[in-house]
Amino acid sequence: MTDKTYGFETLSVHAGAAPDPATGARALPIYQTTAYVFEDADQAAALFNLQTVGFIYSRLTNPTNAALEARLATLEGGRGCTVASSGHAAQVLALFPLMAPGAEIVASSRLYGGSLQQMRNTYPKFGWTAKIVDADDPENFKRAVTPNTKAFFIESLANPGGVISDIEAIARIAEAAGVPLLVDNTLATPWLCKPIEYGATLIVHSTTKFLSGTGTSMGGAVVDSGQFDWAKSGKFPSLAGPEPAYHGLNFFESFGDMAYTFHSHAVGLRDLGPSQAPFNAWLTMLGIETLGLRMERHCANAQKVAEYLARHPAVAWVNYAGLPDNKYHQLARKYLPKGAGSIFTFGVKGGYDVGIKVVDSVELFSHLANIGDAKSLIIHPASTTHRQLSDEQRVAAGAGPDVLRLSIGIETVDDIIADLEQALKKATS
């Protein structure tokens, strides 16, 4: 397929998955194999030398995963992609070629709580430091830059607060600092926003969410724009110098705009090992076929549910960027013109006790710790995901006692609203 001439929905169905040349199978086969027979000793040597592209061992590459990688790179407008076992694995994999002990990243304070936890408490064990800044003012990124800064990290649309980052402004500051901008595009998906068009270098995903779409498969992905000059600043020796982890190969000199993706497979997946199971890649490929249809419905439903809640007497506030009085509404219009996503928080009058009663009273919604499923989901963060924090920390994280997080599914919107109506009634009566 010549990708450039097709629309998003066409590419969602076709990119990366031509009929199987061996059998004619129209659906993508699941290559459930750990290894691949070499043609002869010369071909084996060429594969190990990265002189030819092919399959050696499924920790590094697998044809089903490769199809998903091609599809995600196409949908994000990137050059290459590496899939991983989870979103969190993808984040480590994404930073790995850039970082070394003593290296720093600058990250938004509004990231998904699990990402902040990873950055604050686990990255230091690798000798990496994350400086956490308020991304509402892009200049905070500039202020945090030091000679050791290797990357900026933001979410296009943050989980759960509906916070939208000014990608273009932050990308400009990253460019001036000579570092790549990484954007977690999990909540927006490329259907709503393509951060590479605004200057992002690397996109990370938890494919666990909207991309797989039905709550079946853990997975992650890193997409490289292929546009960053890894040699210019001298800050990225693993990519643009002799890489000791691959017998001194200079990836940037050898592979140009595919250097980052080759490194992620040949060194990142090889040495860290967080490979995606081919069955999960296959389920995610199926999910992506309907991404545009689902996102359209997710966003339309979420908009109606947010408007309903904003009028409800038992509701204190609603934090959804699709509402005109929301702080991020203008940024939503710029970066998410097709809709403000389907995940948002709201506060109930009556605080913690009412919040608990709502999650215990819903019937259609599932009370669980996930987002981006076709089914509507709800959680009360203060009593679950954020319960280990102090009261002050919970409020700072947007998980105060009254907060409920919704992930609005694709069911009939009247049924979603009716379920919330009866749950709010029970909880407040």
Ligand X SMILES: Cc1ncc(COP(=O)(O)O)c(C=O)c1O
Contact footprint for ligand X (CB under 6 A): 86-88, 112, 114-115, 155, 159, 184, 186-187, 206, 208, 218, 220, 371
- Ranked by CB distance to ligand X, the top (closest) residue is 87
Smallest separation, CB 385 to ligand X (Å): 9
Q: Which is nearer to ligand X, 250 or 385 (CB)?
A: 385
Q: Which is nearer to ligand X, 159 or 284 (CB)?
A: 159
Q: Which is nearer to ligand X, 186 or 303 (CB)?
A: 186
Smallest separation, CB 115 to ligand X (Å): 6
The one-letter amino acid code at 64 reads T
Smallest separation, CB 44 to ligand X (Å): 34
Half-sphere exposure of 2 (CA within 13 A, CB side): 1
Burial 56-84 (b: 16+ CB within 10 A, else e): bebbbbbbbbbbbbbbbbbbbbbbbbbbb
Q: Which is nearer to ligand X, 187 or 309 (CB)?
A: 187
Q: Which is nearer to ligand X, 114 or 351 (CB)?
A: 114
Integer Cα distance of 86 and 275 in angstroms: 9
Three-state SS string over 188-257 comes to CHHHHCCHHHHCCCEEEEECCCCCCCCCCCCCEEEEECCCCCCCCCCCCHHHHCCEHHHCCECHHHHHHH
Q: Which is nearer to ligand X, 158 or 354 (CB)?
A: 158
Smallest separation, CB 165 to ligand X (Å): 12
Integer angstrom CA distances of residue 365 from 10, 192, 279: 31, 24, 27
Integer Cα distance of 6 and 12 in angstroms: 10
With tokens 């900026």, the residue in question is 152
Smallest separation, CB 116 to ligand X (Å): 11
Smallest separation, CB 50 to ligand X (Å): 29
Integer Cα distance of 78 and 25 in angstroms: 27
Q: Which is nearer to ligand X, 61 or 159 (CB)?
A: 159
Whether the CB-CB separation of 42 and 36 falls below 8 Å is answered with no
With tokens 């984040």, the residue in question is 91
Smallest separation, CB 158 to ligand X (Å): 7
Of the candidates 191, 185, 16, the one whose C-alpha atom is nearest the C-alpha of residue 90 is 185
Tally Cβ neighbours within 10 Å of residue 144.
18
Q: Which is nearer to ligand X, 60 or 83 (CB)?
A: 83
Smallest separation, CB 208 to ligand X (Å): 4
Q: Which is nearer to ligand X, 86 or 201 (CB)?
A: 86
Smallest separation, CB 206 to ligand X (Å): 3
3-class DSSP state of 94:
helix
